[in-house]
Chain A
C-alpha cells in the first residue's frame, strides 16, 4: 500500500519557467516531509524538508508547500534550470520513524 504517491511520472518545463512537482499522502500522522533529487547512476540527495507545523519552507529557488487538510505536498522550482533535470522523490515520516518514499517524478527542463 503506497502511503506516499507521486501521480505524475514525468514533467517537462521550459528553462526559466516554474516547475511544480506534486505529492499526496494518506497517513494523517505524517509530520515530516522531504524532497530528494536523483541523477542517473547516483543515489538520491536531500533537497529540502518541511515540518508539519509549517505550511511553507523556502531555500533559494526551491520552495515546498504543505497542505495538511488536503494531505498534499508540492515542490516549486523557480526559475527552472537545465541542471534541475532529474528524478524527484518526496518522502514522509511519522515521528522520525521509517520514511515512506513516493515513486518519483522525472523532471526535464528544456533549454
Chain B
C-alpha cells in the first residue's frame, strides 16, 4: 500500500459526458501528479501540482483540467469524453521536487468510455 488513494476504482460512462477522478496523496506529500495509461501506451504525464499550485504540465488535453485543494487532495476533471479517453489514470504523490523515484503511485482509476 503506497498510501495514495484514488477513487473511484472503476468508472464507466458515455461519450460526451464529464467525470471527476479524485486522489488523496500520502500524508505529508505536497506534490500530486496525474498520469494516463492508454492501451499499449506507456504512462503519459498529464500535470503536476505542488502545494495547490500548478507546477508542470505535460500532454494534457484542453478538455481535461485538474486542481489541488487546500487539504492537498486533487481532482482530475475530464469533459466531453471520447472513446479514446478510455484508459487507466494514475495519481502519484511526493514530498516535493521532481525526481520520479520519490513518487508513490495510487492503484489507478480505470475509465471506460462507451
A3, closest chain B residue (CB) = B42
Q: Which of B2, B56, B106 makes the CB contact (< 8 A) with A98?
A: B56
Q: A97 contacts B56, CB within 8 Å?
A: yes
Residues of chain B within 8 A of A70, CB atoms compared: none
Q: Count residues of chain B with CB under 8 A from any CB of chain A.
A: 25
Which residues in chain B, 32-70, are within 8 Å of chain A measured between CB atoms?
A: 35, 40-45, 56, 58
Q: Given contacts A101-B42, A101-B43, are A43 and B99 in contact (CB under 8 A)?
A: no
Residue of B nearest to A5 (CB): B42
Interchain Cβ contacts within 8 Å, total number: 60
Question: When the two chains form the complex, which single residue of B42, B58, B90, B107 contacts A103, counting CB atoms closer than 8 Å?
Answer: B42
Tell me, in angstroms, the Cα distance from A24 to B4 when the chains sit together.
30
Give the residue of A32, A44, A103, A104 whose beta carbon is less than 8 angstroms from that of B99: A32
15 examples of A-B residue contacts, CB within 8 angstroms: A4-B42, A6-B42, A34-B100, A43-B2, A43-B4, A43-B90, A43-B106, A46-B100, A46-B102, A49-B100, A97-B98, A98-B58, A99-B45, A101-B35, A103-B40
With contacts A4-B42, A42-B107, A98-B56 known, what are 7 further pairs, Cβ within 8 A?
Answer: A42-B105, A43-B2, A43-B92, A43-B106, A93-B98, A99-B100, A103-B41
Task: Name B residues whose Cβ lies closer than 8 Å to a Cβ of A.
Answer: 2, 4, 35, 40-45, 56, 58, 90, 92, 97-108
